[in-house]
Structure 1
Amino acid sequence: MYLDEYLEALKNEISIDESFYSMWEERPDSFGFLPRPMVWIGANKNRKALLNFLGRLLKSLWLGGGGILFFLFKFLKFLFLVSLASKKLNIVRGYSEYAIAFSARALDIIVPPITSHRPTIWITFPWCKPKRIVGDVYCVTTILSVVDVFKVLVLAIRSVYGVNRLGYREWVLQTYSAFEWFVARLAIRKLGGGSIIIAEHFDRWAVLAGFAAEQFKRLDLHQMKKSTTLTLVQHGILRSASEGGSSKLAFRIPSQIRSVDCLYVYDQESADIFINEVVQAEEKPPKVIIRPPQIKLVKLDEDKPRILFVGHSLCERFHLNLYLALKRCDVSAVFYYKPHPLIPCSDAIRYAGWKVIDGRTEFPAADLLISYPSTLVTEYRICGVSSIVHGLNADENEVETVVRDVVKALVLVKH
């Protein structure tokens, strides 16, 4: 059962990766079907031959036993953590509401009033250690047993060869995520139901939570147990990040998220996308609560107009060329660059000459944003800051046009 669920989750991951390859007018086979192109393709598009060779080599090694060795290493490491942790399953199951920290971003988003007045705990993972968190926290190592870890190993190894059933043999490297996925799936299974809150949209973690909620609800029908609900909290903009930013997803969701009871979304447009494209249709549609994103701006002592570049690995070359063009035009401004919170920027970006703003919760006051269709565009607009928005696939031919737009926008800025 769990293997089938993971393979369903992989369908979404593959669809997302295919969309990023397509955005760059490339085919996955040209890069050896390497996963997660959104992280690396922007800076490595010209290394197609090398990456194609690397991808195909890794795939051969993975199928030839490399995948098993990879999971054995993770197994030994995780087994050590589980054997050291004191078991708290009975305590954990006494709660009625669980916030799942699949990513560090969830810690910034799942806050009151999303969490209720009821006792709430965070379920965390060794690969996502919270630096700061309010409330009771339990790592999955305190929930899982040694036997569970052996089960995870078996399932992870089976997933390497299970992708053949999907007809996705070429995408076998996607199974790099299998061990962590099965750790999370077996741990959440042990919660026994209750109110589950996540900050994922449609990736493998969201699919996992949907399957878990569906399983709990089936048990609720047969046993007198606490009622299960699944709440999904929006963490970023949904509409297409390509040129024009249409009001829909840039890719198809093969495995829609099951058993969603409540959606916290930025606006009605986001709600429509979730209901029509992301969430599986149920007899009772999910409750929708509109909650615009909010940030606190930090005022830095500057006497010039402030321009903030909202970064992403796919836009690095475009942003760097644009920044250099603005400097050549003697644009009088202070330039900031904020990297994507989950994808570190390259050294070329970090040392280009602008002020790099790190940290998920640090947002400088600015007079103008230059950004792809990002959540920050909405958040800064609420604060009265206008934006120049470009596609994730913007290229050098657009630099001159954006420079003119920046110059026009700065005329309206008073300092």
Structure 2
Amino acid sequence: MIILERLRCYNKAVENESVLDLQIYKILKLTPSNYFYIPKVAKWYPKLPRQIKKYRHFSSVIFFSLGVFIALFGWVYIVHCFLKSLPVNKKVLCSRNEILAFVNSDRNLEAIKNSGFAHDHLTYISFREIGCGDGKIFQVKDCVSTLDKINTLFISFLAFGYLLVSFKPSRINQFYYSYEFFLTLKLFLRIQPKGFVTSHHYDRWSILMDGISGHYSSKSSKGKSINFTLIQHGIEREDFLCSRKYLGHFNKLRYVNTLYLMSISQSELFLKYILDSYCGVRVNIIIFSEANIQLSPVKRVDDIPCVLFIGHPVYDFIQLELYNALVSRFQVCCFYKPHPTTPISKSNTLQQVGWEVVPSNEFPDVDYFISYQSTLALQYEAAGKVGFIHGENSSPEDIAHEKQMMLNFFSSKI
């Protein structure tokens, strides 16, 4: 794969990540330009001091200054990523008969294991350090040479320059993963594995593996085709997927061979919004059941009902509104379970609420739950629990309606 092909693959990743960020800004009802299109807004916005959120003009000056700093010194961060990857505990991945399972979080790892996917030569690999219960996960930086890293450094500089000339902050700010993207790409091209497995649906990592699969698919006459398996890690919603077409160009996956899904209904969404039509007509779909959760007992006081809030940073505001309405009407004991990819710190305001924050590896045996449309909500329903599913952050009128609907739900239960 020549440098131009790698840059095209990276550009597709940038397009998708930009749209995903804009979508979260929209859900949070924030104006992206006021925050200079800083990525991963769901992770940092809830942590902002109230003063910055309240005084928008002040926050605009801060984020504009931050954006200018990024544009001028982004290359310094790329050098930092390069230097951070230099301490090498050199490891050599096995033969080309390997199936590489790329995971970048514990949730990705759990999804692959729960899907029932099995192969005699399955090797887990990640760019980050992730715990693995029954084996070692290789880190990308330990599997490439120093020369490869130097080469990747210069390609990352080139990619950063390419983003700068676009003069679009939503694209420029995506430079932060350029080094890890190109280093992973270089490793996978060198190994030429038998296949890829991932539970990333449409972000930069799925685009990367789709690009490599497409590269070898064009050389299939030489016997270098690669099987690309995509495993669902969480439920998808049509309104969420459909809204992306209004935010920018979003690339679909073209070279997925096998698709592991949680239900038949989800297959319609994947084929329509995530997979390209070229891929959809030939993909092999396998349905699996998400593993049952093991409920842990909770301390109860005088038979007071227990309620679990299944959280996500995007829905912090509406869930706090629902919590306040719930405890003002009913005597309940509340728990809050953060999203596994965005744990909350001890200083986070969510720790100061009257609920008890639940560790990521525990699933309290509550009477009811309150959640957005999440995979964990489905797992609690499978465990025999009932709950209230709320909508997205919306207007004050819509939130008032959600609160009334929730109170009506609990009035019929408690």
Residue 29 of structure 1 is matched in structure 2 by 33
**Mapped partners of 1:47, 1:103: distance in 2:** 35
**Mapped partners of 1:185, 1:230: distance in 2:** 15
**Residues 248 and 17 (structure 1 numbering): CA distance in 2 closer, same or farther, change over 3 Å?**
closer
Q: CA deviation at 1:319?
A: 1.9
Q: CA deviation at 1:136?
A: 4.7
Residue 109 of structure 1 is matched in structure 2 by 111
Q: CA deviation at 1:214?
A: 1.5
**Mapped partners of 1:295, 1:412: distance in 2:** 27
Alignment-mate amino acid for residue 254 of structure 1 = F
Alignment-mate amino acid for residue 338 of structure 1 = K
Q: CA deviation at 1:333?
A: 1.7
Contact 1:41–1:314 (Cα < 8 Å) also in 2: no
Q: CA deviation at 1:70?
A: 1.0
Matches within 5 A, 1:240-389: 240=238, 246=239, 248-252=241-245, 254-282=250-278, 284-296=281-293, 297-302=295-300, 303-329=303-329, 331-345=330-344, 347-359=348-360, 361-389=361-389
Alignment-mate amino acid for residue 328 of structure 1 = S
SS in 2 for 1:133: coil
Cα-to-partner distance string for 1:36-78 (whole Å, 9 max, x where unaligned): 22224456553533442233222322222x1111111111111
**Mapped partners of 1:410, 1:293: distance in 2:** 28
Q: CA deviation at 1:10?
A: 0.5
Contact 2:96–2:192 (Cα < 8 Å) also in 1: no
Contact 2:258–2:286 (Cα < 8 Å) also in 1: yes
SS in 2 for 1:392: coil
Residue 210 of structure 1 is matched in structure 2 by 210
SS in 1 for 2:38: coil
Matches within 5 A, 1:216-235: 216-223=216-223, 225=224, 227-235=225-233
Cα-to-partner distance string for 1:263-318 (whole Å, 9 max, x where unaligned): 11122232111111111222642111122323312232423222111111122222
SS in 1 for 2:131: coil
**Mapped partners of 2:169, 2:400: distance in 1:** 43
**Residues 56 and 113 (structure 1 numbering): CA distance in 2 closer, same or farther, change over 3 Å?**
closer
Cα-to-partner distance string for 1:225-251 (whole Å, 9 max, x where unaligned): 5x52111111112115xxxxx484431
**Residues 407 and 22 (structure 1 numbering): CA distance in 2 closer, same or farther, change over 3 Å?**
closer
Matches within 5 A, 1:64-143: 64=72, 66-80=73-87, 82=88, 85-89=89-93, 92-111=94-113, 114-125=116-127, 128-143=128-143
Contact 2:39–2:173 (Cα < 8 Å) also in 1: yes
Contact 1:121–1:135 (Cα < 8 Å) also in 2: no
Alignment-mate amino acid for residue 214 of structure 1 = G
**Mapped partners of 2:37, 2:289: distance in 1:** 37
Q: CA deviation at 1:165?
A: 6.3
For the pair 1:55 / 2:58, whether they are aligned, the reply is no
**Residues 62 and 407 (structure 1 numbering): CA distance in 2 closer, same or farther, change over 3 Å?**
closer
Q: CA deviation at 1:192?
A: 0.8
Contact 1:256–1:277 (Cα < 8 Å) also in 2: yes
Give me the TM-score of the superposition, normalised by structure 2: 0.87
**Mapped partners of 1:202, 1:35: distance in 2:** 16
**Residues 344 and 136 (structure 1 numbering): CA distance in 2 closer, same or farther, change over 3 Å?**
closer
Q: CA deviation at 1:98?
A: 1.7
**Mapped partners of 2:343, 2:320: distance in 1:** 15
Give me the TM-score of the superposition, normalised by structure 1: 0.87
Alignment-mate amino acid for residue 343 of structure 2 = P
Contact 1:309–1:335 (Cα < 8 Å) also in 2: yes
**Residues 402 and 130 (structure 1 numbering): CA distance in 2 closer, same or farther, change over 3 Å?**
same
SS in 2 for 1:188: helix
SS in 2 for 1:363: coil
Alignment-mate amino acid for residue 292 of structure 1 = S
**Mapped partners of 1:192, 1:205: distance in 2:** 17
Contact 1:59–1:172 (Cα < 8 Å) also in 2: no
Q: How many corresponding residue pairs?
A: 397
Contact 1:144–1:187 (Cα < 8 Å) also in 2: yes
**Mapped partners of 1:379, 1:141: distance in 2:** 36
Residue 10 of structure 1 is matched in structure 2 by 14
Mark the runs of 5 or more structure 2 residues left unpaired by the alignment: none
Q: CA deviation at 1:392?
A: 2.7
**Residues 113 and 339 (structure 1 numbering): CA distance in 2 closer, same or farther, change over 3 Å?**
closer
